[in-house]
Amino acid sequence: MNKEILVQEADDETKVAVLEDGNLVEIYVERDLNERLVGNIYKGVIRNVLPGMQAAFVDIGLEKNAFLYAGDALVNVLCQRGNSFLNNQENDQLNISDIVKEGQEILVQIAKEPVGTKGARVTTKITLPGRYVVLMPNVDYIGISRRIQGDIERERLKEIAEQLKPKEMGIIVRTVAENVLENDIKEDIENLQKMWIRIMQRVKNTSGSVLVYKDVELVQRILRDLFSEDVKKLSVNSRNTMEKVIDYLDVTNSDLKSKVFLNDNTNLFEKHSVDQELAKALKRKVWLKSGGYVIIDETEALTAIDVNTGKFVGKNNLEETVVFTNCEAAKEIARQLRLRNIGGIIIIDFIDMMEGEHRDKVLAVLEEELRKDKIKANILGITSLGLVEMTRKKVRQSLSNTLERICPYCEGKGRVVSEQTVYISLKKQLEKVAARTAADTIVIEASPQVVALIIGVGGSEQSKLETKIGKKITIIEKEKNHIWEYDIKPKNEGKNEKTGTGTLILNENMV
């Protein structure tokens, strides 16, 4: 697989694209006005403890208090009260009020970005990622990346981890540590220990809600987490960024410097059609090469994905057509989940298949494609209705939440009132205005769609209205008006004076 990374930097935005065999599979966006929060460590203060929700709200200095679940706070108990406390408690009876108290200062790390009306989700299970390992200062544990497949290599890394693991701390060996020398891993662990000491010193020297550790910027995270031997090429469009990349690799892995290239006279995203793919990734409908398509609907609670044959009619029989479309869709769905960074509960409605072996084949394709994803995903199986249930870990905001905002007109519904609904409301308002004015003529300003209904075929509807209210009606078409916007005014001696309500607001006037 040919894997390439593009780094496109501008004055107020940095974008990183990951391509696999020329296809865009991941996109990262960091803007000056919208900084990434996941990974940041805060000294916070417990403001509210909610036993009924088994959670607490923590003031960490952000606009909204962070949310701490009981399960994410257990490390706090182990650190402050020891294992004996848990041994004396029944797990199913352990309450959040037994773990934290209001006013208590606590060290937490952001695990999930704030989304919509929800504040950030935090945990006391602190992790410090390095190049080759992740240090867990509060947990005595050793883990090896599941992506490292060879048993011999896994055993070698486990032995190294056991020898180098700091006392009463834990480490997870990352994928990039495969075939890396012991000295390099040792140096990485020592650097992370020094970082933890600096964090704890700042914790001791501060009070209240304060940021004590900020995760590195986007380009450094990409070098740390994604740039490895399997990447064929890393291209950057900025000389300044190029220098930062080389400086970082001089310390971490100088062998990778030969894969870094500067293209300061080129728009990398335009050259590789990344912006076009981004535009497609923001749409509901995703077309497949065969002519089938996938519909992706994201909600706050879950994401629903529907597969359709579309223009694809197949060659031999229906079942063959369906299986081919479903397999093609499974590959594209896995790519779209990575590209859009969709997390949480995901329901996939594949086209119905008659044979069990065909369903297994489609699931196998989906599982194989998801293995390319560094974010953990679990396929839970097929329901009795033929729906595939799966989850994908939700860490950062989705691409849609990063690049888009909720429509202020439809408030996220994706639908607005019809012209017929507006016209009915307009007629009621017209009667009210006509009843309280002595003017002979009423002026109506509305969108072209509503104007067409007011006039009717050959002016028939306008004549009926004039007869009903006993006045003349002058209609002015406003092309820039939204469908629901209109004005009704009496015409007095050449001057228009508003006596109507002006713009129609659905929530106030139509309900």
Confidence band (pLDDT; 50, 70, 90) for 421? very high
pLDDT at 87: 47
Higher pLDDT, 499 or 183: 183
CA separation for the pair 130, 11 (Å, rounded): 28
pTM of the entire predicted model: 0.76
CA separation for the pair 215, 202 (Å, rounded): 15
CA separation for the pair 259, 277 (Å, rounded): 25
* Whole-number average pLDDT of the chain: 87
Alpha helices for 40-112 (secondary structure H): 70-81, 83-87, 96-99
pLDDT at 34: 64
pLDDT at 416: 85
CA separation for the pair 294, 308 (Å, rounded): 6
pLDDT at 217: 86
- Give the bridge partners for 44, in sequence order: 106
Across residues 484-505, what is the average pLDDT? 64
pLDDT at 498 > cutoff 50 = no
Average the pLDDT over each of 79-88, 337-346, 380-389 and give the range with the smallest value: 79-88
- Written as six digits, the tokens of 430 are 């017209």
CA separation for the pair 450, 453 (Å, rounded): 5
Neighbours of 264 (CB within 10 A): 11
- Written as six digits, the tokens of 386 are 């033929």
pLDDT at 63 > cutoff 90 = no
Digit-coded pLDDT (tens) for 304-336: 999 999 888 877 788 889 999 999 999 999 999
Q: For the chain, list the domains and their CATH numbers.
A: 3-35+216-274 (3.30.420.40), 126-213 (3.30.230.10), 284-403 (3.40.630), 419-509 (3.40.1260.20)
Digit-coded pLDDT (tens) for 222-273: 998 889 888 999 999 988 889 989 988 888 888 899 999 998 777 888 888 8
For residue 479, give the amino acid letter: E
Rg of the Cα atoms in the chain = 30
- Written as six digits, the tokens of 323 are 């299986």
CA separation for the pair 320, 342 (Å, rounded): 30
- Written as six digits, the tokens of 346 are 């995901």
Q: In a 10 Å sphere around its CB, with 0-12 CB exposed, 13-18 middle and 19+ buried, how is residue 52 labelled?
A: exposed
- Written as six digits, the tokens of 410 are 């439809």
Confidence band (pLDDT; 50, 70, 90) for 156? very high
Across residues 447-469, what is the average pLDDT? 93
Q: Percent of the chain, pLDDT > 70?
A: 92
